[in-house]
Structure 1
Amino acid sequence: MKKLRILLVDDHEVVRLGLKALLDRYPQFEVVAEASTADEALARVAQYRPDVVVMDVRLPGKNGIEATREIKATYPETEVIILTSYAEDDLLFDAIRAGASGYVLKQIGSDDLVRALDAVGKGEALLDPKLTRRVFERVRDAEREAEASAFRDLSDQELRVLALLAEGKTNKEIARELYLSSGTVRNYVSSILHKLGLGNRAEAAAYAVQHHIWDYLPE
């Protein structure tokens, strides 16, 4: 069985010794090197080409996120798993953007850490269960912000016109419902198409449905 070759990066020697003692108990792992700073980690990766780097975030000088970004830029085949005491959202997302394949907390149990290493070694992505809910919440918030920004250039009346257009109503029907003239509705539709950069009513209707316009209608 091919062993998973691991580099341990932490500025506390006691932590590295504890991790090495733990991983030495498992035949599928081999700790090939250790490092206490980001620069040492980069040098060890170049020297040993590990399969996985177990990276602390808080390091003297350059932090673990920066080291992860440099490692992935130069050695994309090397996986990085962040092992940290910090459950901060910004650090989590910075780590993901830097290319980390895993983010787990040091409070994790030894069995869970082993499973995390096995998963990352197979090319899978893994987050600490305590953090997964927050990731999905952040993604949902970003989606809501994107949807809201989709209509930011439209006036309240244009939003109402677009919503009715998306329901398949004609200009005459929209005019009747909003107590406007057909010509005014026609002008609103032209303005909406221009502001959204769309070519026709069908595109506008599809755009409105895609971005859930009914969630953003004025009272």
Structure 2
Amino acid sequence: MTDVIKVVIADSEEVFVQGLEKILTEHPQIQVVSRCHKSEEIVQEGRRIHPDVLLVEDELTGEETASFVKSVTEDCPETKIAILKRQGEINDGFSGLKAGARAYLSKNISPEDLVKSIELISSGRIIISPVFAQQFTDSLNTRTMMEEHPSGEEVTQREREVATMIAHGKTNREIATELYISENTVKMHVKNTLGKLELKNRQQLSVYAVLHEWIRQEDKPHL
């Protein structure tokens, strides 16, 4: 039996929160465990519940989305964060992804895509709603991660393969099984790659793999 995905919804609009909750409660594999309407409530609920997925309105993250994401992930490292945003320009340059968020979702997302997104996000995938896809593509050559970290020339083909599988949300055990290697070998590849690229964690490695187009075009993280 598939584990239930625990979700916290954080949005300043009560009607919107109620709508999301109604959609999600119709799916037995998803459980809405809490609702927040203020930014200060989010970390408190995260510490108390440790949800699998946090859906948070971008306006509740404050002026610095990256700082907010880092704050939440430090307290709740197992929680996957999805930024909810109205259609329009992404003013933060997708900095939330670099900080560890797993998704930028449109608040106009369809119920079917919302459920699918939560399932993918909970498994570790990076998701960008189609309405933001062009902005995401345009930002690839200007993102600070492209400028601040090495080009990846020293990364071996096997290390790149492991990084790509991490970007697809696979666990060390799944990677080991698929590549016919031990979990310790996978961990070694991850550690070596993080060191070569001057990255801190698997989330940053996932984003790096996307930004440097290690993932095939058909597998890019768009719904």
> 1:56 & 1:122 partners in 2: Cα distance?
21
Q: Paired residue for 2:59?
A: 58
Q: Is the 8 A contact 2:93 2:143 kept in 1?
A: no
Distance in 2 separating the partners of 1:28 and 1:10: 22
Q: Residue type matched to 1:73 in 2? A: E
Answer whether contact 2:103 2:127 (CA < 8 A) is retained: yes
Contact 2:43/2:75 (8 A) holds in 1: no
How do 1:1-219 and structure 2 match up within 5 A?
1-59=2-60, 62=62, 65=65, 66-141=67-142
Query: For residues 124 and 57 of structure 1, what CA distance do their matches in structure 2 show?
Result: 20
| Alignment partners' CA distance in 2, 1:63 and 1:37 | 14
CA contact (8 A) 2:81 2:103 kept: yes
Label 1:115 to 1:64 Cα distance change in 2 as closer, same or farther (>3 A): farther
Q: For the structure 1 residues 36 and 111, does the alpha-carbon distance in structure 2 shift closer, same or farther, using more than 3 Å as the test?
A: same
Rounded to whole Å, the distance in 2 between the matches of 1:10 and 1:63 is 16
**RMSD across aligned positions (CA):** 2.3
Relative CO higher for 1 or 2, CA cutoff 8 Å, sep ≥ 6?
A: 2
TM-score (norm 1): 0.60
Distance verdict in 2 for CA 1:64–1:13, change over 3 Å: farther
Q: How many Å separate the matches in 2 of 1:12 and 1:139?
A: 32
Following superposition, the deviation at residue 142 of structure 1 comes to 5.8
Scaled by the length of structure 2, the TM-score of the pair is 0.59
Q: How many residues matched? A: 144
Counterpart contact for 2:50–2:78, Cα < 8 Å: no
Distance 1:47 1:137 in 2: 38
What is the deviation of 1:63?
5.7
Per-residue CA distance 1:60-96 (angstroms, 9 max, x = gap): x846824322111222211000111153233351222
Q: Which has the larger radius of gyration?
A: 1
Aligned partners of 2:80, 2:69: CA distance in 1, in Å?
9
Structure 1: 5+ residue runs without aligned partners?
147-219
